[in-house]
Chain A
Amino acid sequence: MADILEFFEMVYDLFVLPFEMLESATVALDSFEFSTTLLYQYLGYMHFAMGDALYIAFSSVALVMIGASLWSFILKGIDFLKSVLPFQ
């Protein structure tokens, strides 16, 4: 009897736990602030050490690189979708 109950509890958890995790993940995502992360802090340190001109140049190039990477990822994603589709 106990085994049966455990089985049903397991089945119940199988359906309930993912949604509980979804709820907790939603709360975590909503409460995440980039301005309090270590990355933001280290960028501030870099800005202080590198000075205005070098930091702006560095961060601008990094921004361009990030944009180019995203652009290439998007193109790759489109190509992947095209290859998945049965018709051309």
Chain B
Amino acid sequence: MPGAEFDWEYEMINFEEELKKFQPSTEVDDIKEDIYNRSATDVAGVFEQMFAKKEETVEEE
């Protein structure tokens, strides 16, 4: 807004808010758990499942 005083505090980086964006790094000891927790679903996998179901339906018919 022309003529309005610049809101300096609003412009500044808020430490607390920024800190929330930092997440703890996975430690080496927890690597196994990290791998297991990952979602292995991909689009190609979905496609394969869809095709497999379709094949089954055709065979049944």
Is chain B found bound to chain A in the same assembly?
no
Residues of B within 8 A of A (CB): none
